[in-house]
Chain A
Amino acid sequence: MAVPKLDLLQGTLDLLILRTLVNGPRHGWSISERIQEISEDVLQVNQGSLYPALHRLEHQGWIEADWGISELGRRARFYDLTKAGRKQLEIEAEQWSRLTRAIGRVLEMA
């Protein structure tokens, strides 16, 4: 029995993308795979919105792209975190944990 897959909350995709890139450059497919893998298939990245998000982040200067060779020996675009991206990741991660803490407290105590 497969675990029901959850669609990502609006705005969290950027955060997850930035986080998966902390340990080095990845291409789009590997980012989505990584997210699914780590979340044990709970989080499903809508691939139709993955690429626009990557392009948006690139334009914002948080990640940069370069062409490389994929595992299949084909041209693929690899994304890497920039300095500004790392800073942004810290900010967003902090916001996220504040938010989840707050929601957790409301659920426990309200």
Chain B
Amino acid sequence: MRWQSLRLRVRTLFRQRPFEADLADELSSHIELQTRKYIDEGLDSQQAYRRARIDFGAIEEARESCREVDRWRLLDVASRNGGQSFRSLAKSPAFALTAVLILSVGIGANLAVFSTIDALLLRPLPLPEANQLVEIVSRDKHGQAGGLFSPALEPLSQNKSFSGVCGVSTHYDAIEIGGTLRKLGTAAFSGDCFQTLGIPIARGRALNPADDHLGAEHVAVITDALWHSQFGGRDDVLGQSVRMGSTDYTIVGVTAAPFSGLLLGFPEPIIIPLLQQFDLLPNGSPRTSYYVSVLARRAPGVPESEAAASILVQRRTLLEQSVPQHYSPAGKTQYLSLGLTVSSGASGLDYFLRDRFSRPLYAVFGLCGAMLLMACLNLSSLLLARSFRRRQEVGIRLALGATLSHVVCILFIESFFLVIAGTVIGIVGGLAGARVILARAGAMFGNFYLDVGVDLRVLMFVLATVGAVVSVFVLASLWQARRLAGNDTLKQSGRGLVAPNTAAQKILLSVQIALTLALIAGSALFNASLRNTYSIDFGVKPQHVWTALLTPQPGGYRNPMYWQRSAVPYYRGLLDKIEALPGVASASLSDNIPFFNNGYRADISVVNGGELERATQARITGVADGYFTTLGARLIAGEDFHRASLATDEPGVIVTQSLARQISPKRSALGLHIRIGTQPDLQRLRIVGISNDMDTSLADLNDTKPFLAFLNFWQHPDLQGYPALLIKTRSSDLAAAAIRRIVERQGYEFVERLSPLTTEIDNAVVENRLLAYLSAAFGCLALLMAAVGLFGLLSYQVASRTAEIGIRMALGARQQQIRRLIFGQTVKLLLAGVLAGAALSFALQKVLGNLLYGITLGNPGVLFLSILVLLCAALIAATIPLRRATHINPIEALRSE
């Protein structure tokens, strides 16, 4: 565009005297001059003016052509028609409010889900060139992903495909800051991590390889967030210390925001060197080998495939140099057989979130998309019907030389206001919604925190969404404008004996009905699936059962040598005291909260003399006596562990019925000896009891009889995580305060979270619940919209055919025939929608198959009900105007417009 032209156009926009007035002045001055010329030639003034006007020709046409020169005239048109459209909307506030509400819900829901997807799945770490980062993942023969032991980092750093490597282990620990105890995520970094990852430092220094040695000074780097929340952002933070266990770590640096850690959703505000974790090996010597997640930065120009190939070549070396020396021979063999793969590390480490939530989230995203499409279709058809009322005005404008784009613009302005309002409310609501989603998730997972940032992707998404909405409306307006331009509207308007052409509305409505039915079918599927989930026999009775996660007080039991000796009497005392509380039926301990975390997976085989037979895998949980009673499970054979059992007694194990059958199909497994994994003290365990089948993880709803093996806590107190207290009460009341007090008085621990077991179950199936509730809400909303759309179309159609109906009545048609005429069309419309909807529902079920549990066929009852609701809406919609039309005098009907 020429500079001059741009300048003129901008000036036209901001000029005080509007373009139109200037143009009018210019043209009228021409006519005046011409008139003057004729007067000078001797004509009288009236004749002169007449001739001047005749000379000029069509003034309006000239004016329009002048406007045409300025392509931005659409803005001009918009501003001239905006006020009118606004007033017209204000006259029907119910329509305007509904439309804005529908749009904002549609846009907001999409934005909320997309920001969640962005935060969880798409956003890269806030590190320079994060896309160069890869994670080196080990996989066992079952495909279970894991890390490596830290000595592998040394040979890996020699690999030319990488410019740097980094080993990270993450923890969730009780940390003492300024005398107050907090549970915080911590990360231990191998020496090169800060350089490799390029983590920016705001204050002090980064950790460097010199810190990562046994015997080096204990130092820590904290994140910007912790600096502000715990140290008030003060400068004297450097040199202060944080205490973990019984060790003080001096703060030497603060990372720059927004870095908050490497683990997705779980920030680690405290970073210490890998070898300065206060851990001892079972023989009391300090550890030099830690299990770490391995991140590496690809060397410039090295593609991921090449990096993966170099890892394959190096696999043997990496494993051999890092296999822990204290492993049993079997354990070593297993470690050496790990496969190594390379995957993107751009968005950080993640242990389970993406696996568990990506598919449900995309399903919800699909739901929201369908919802927004539905909203657009619905509004378009309502707007089409509204704009039809303006056909006379549009006809006049066209006759006077308005162009098609001009008319589109006029028709679009109304929806433009709606889109703007809907978008603004939608964005505010959507971001708030995403925060609520993530905050709820935070409550589920304890220390979970994920920020909903408006980044470029979210912004692009909003733009694309609004663009899509706008283009639907523009297309609808264009279509309508073309139709109005094509018809000889002026002649027809008002006198229409023929029904207006509502083909567009009909098509839109059929699509809406189809979408609605598909949504409702989907909702029925999700809800049936959820019901099925809850009707699963987990093998436990969760009513009146409480779980309390126990967490160490400062200096609590970090010294493992001391702790192993004192843990058994400590917990015996704790359980005795809790069981003595009034109202408590039984209590037990487990190293897993049922339905929250689900034990580690290990190989199991029967020890038959020197032979190992019937190897399989099972999940291993350590439990104290009373576990099965407390959870409402039962022992089918054998007996429970004893609270008095000693470490020196023959170690026992309890297995579930299916596992017992698997390892001993012919006779009772009771009394058999099995080995679990590679830990030395688990190589010969006697099966002392067989429990009923129970599923305490809900990890895989299609396998509700997972193989579980329970170790005797009193014999193996070296628990994997912090222990959880399980308490069965006689009524629904729990003396929560009393329990907290007892735990704190016992000396080492405090209760971190206390919740009913039913809540843990709800959380375990949260994705199913989310899908079920959201799809139900969306289904209802869609049904409502379709019903309103149907009502709008039919009542409009009937009302505009009043004249035709009048003639038919005058010529002797009976009311029944008229009704058939109108309803026949309605039924056709519904039928088309229903058929398409049924096909869509069927396809949906295929697609959703693996998100659903125990579904063979969707609930046809719900579908029939929805069709019935739509039919009723149609009946009501047609009945009222039809009644009016068939009851008035044909003469009046003919006169009506």
A-side interface residues toward B, CB under 8 Å?
27-30, 33, 46-52, 55-56, 58-61, 64, 70-72, 74-77
Contact = CB atoms under 8 A, between A and B. Distances in A.
9 contacts: A47-B55, A49-B65, A51-B65, A51-B66, A58-B8, A59-B2, A72-B36, A77-B22, A77-B29
Interface in B1-49: 2-5, 8, 22-23, 25-27, 29-30, 32-34, 36-37
Given A61-B4, A74-B29, A47 B56 contact: yes
A59 B69 contact: yes
B62 A59 contact: no
Contacts of B29: 27-29, 70, 72, 74-77
A19 B820 CA distance: 73
Contact of A55 (B2, B34, B36, B69): B69
Given A48-B56, A59-B2, A71 B70 contact: no
Given A59-B8, A61-B5, A47 B30 contact: yes
Q: Could you say which of B2, B22, B26, B56 has the most chain A C-beta atoms within 10 Å of its C-beta?
A: B26
Given A49-B65, A51-B62, A72-B36, A60 B56 contact: no
A75 to B, nearest CB: 6
A94 B58 CA distance: 34
Given A29-B33, A60-B2, A52 B62 contact: yes
At the interface, is chain B mostly helix, strand, loop or mixed? helix
Report the 6 A-B pairs with minimum CB-CB distance, sorted nearest first. Answer: A61-B4, A52-B65, A29-B33, A48-B57, A55-B69, A59-B5
A61 B3 contact: yes
Nearest to A57: B69
Contact of B5 (A27, A49, A60, A72): A60
B33 A56 contact: no
B19 to A, nearest CB: 10
Given A59-B5, A77-B26, A48 B58 contact: yes
Contacts of B37: 33
B892 interface: no
B674 to A, nearest CB: 90
B140 interface: no
B666 to A, nearest CB: 96
Contacts of A70: 29, 32-33
Contacts of B23: 51
A48 B61 contact: yes
B154 interface: no
Contacts of A61: 2-5
Contacts of A30: 33
Contacts of B61: 48
A77 B8 CA distance: 15
At the interface, is chain A mostly helix, strand, loop or mixed? helix
A93 B57 CA distance: 29
A71 B37 CA distance: 11
Contacts of A50: 62
B320 interface: no
Interface in B36-88: 36-37, 55-59, 61-62, 65-66, 68-70
Contact of A48 (B33, B65, B68): B65
A28 B822 CA distance: 60
Contacts of B25: 75, 77
B4 A59 contact: yes
Nearest to B69: A55
Nearest to B31: A29
Contacts of A59: 2, 4-5, 8, 69-70
B56 A55 contact: no
Nearest to A74: B29
A51 B4 contact: no
A59 B70 CA distance: 8
B273 to A, nearest CB: 69
A3 B68 CA distance: 34
Contacts of B58: 48
Nearest to A44: B55
Contacts of B4: 58-61, 64
Given A72-B33, A72-B36, A77-B22, 6 more contacts: A29-B30, A49-B65, A51-B65, A55-B70, A61-B4, A75-B25
A38 to B, nearest CB: 16
Nearest to A60: B2
A51 B2 contact: no
B323 to A, nearest CB: 79
B30 A56 contact: no
Given A60-B2, A61-B5, A28 B65 contact: no
B2 A28 contact: no
Interface string B131-147: 00000000000000000
Given A47-B57, A61-B2, A72 B65 contact: no
A77 to B, nearest CB: 5
Contact of B62 (A33, A48, A56): A48
A5 to B, nearest CB: 11
A28 B69 contact: no
A47 B28 CA distance: 12
Nearest to A61: B4
Given A47-B56, A76-B26, A71 B33 contact: yes
A72 B31 CA distance: 12
Interface string B870-894: 0000000000000000000000000
A33 B52 CA distance: 13
A97 B4 CA distance: 29
Contacts of B70: 55, 59
A52 B66 contact: yes
Nearest to A30: B33
B401 to A, nearest CB: 11
Nearest to B64: A52
Nearest to B60: A48
Contact of A56 (B22, B26, B34, B69): B69
Contacts of A77: 22, 25-26, 29
Contacts of A33: 37
Nearest to B34: A29
A33 B40 CA distance: 14
B62 A49 contact: yes
Nearest to A82: B4
A52 B68 contact: yes
Nearest to A45: B55
Contacts of B62: 47-52
A55 B68 CA distance: 10
Contacts of A52: 62, 65-66, 68-69
Nearest to B57: A48
A61 B69 CA distance: 13
Given A70-B29, A76-B26, A55 B5 contact: no
A15 B860 CA distance: 76
A60 B23 CA distance: 18
A72 B32 CA distance: 8
A50 B36 CA distance: 19
A6 B259 CA distance: 79
A39 to B, nearest CB: 16
A29 B65 CA distance: 18
Nearest to A59: B5
Q: Could you say which of B4, B23, B55, B57 has the most chain A C-beta atoms within 10 Å of its C-beta?
A: B4
A55 B4 CA distance: 12
Q: Could you say which of A30, A47, A64 has the most chain B C-beta atoms within 10 Å of its C-beta?
A: A47
B424 to A, nearest CB: 35
A49 B23 CA distance: 14
Contact of A74 (B3, B32, B55): B32
A78 B659 CA distance: 99
B801 to A, nearest CB: 43
A74 B65 CA distance: 24
Interface in B532-582: none
A71 B69 CA distance: 28
A71 B631 CA distance: 104
B66 A55 contact: yes
Contacts of B26: 28, 51, 76-77
Contacts of A29: 29-30, 33-34
Contacts of B68: 52
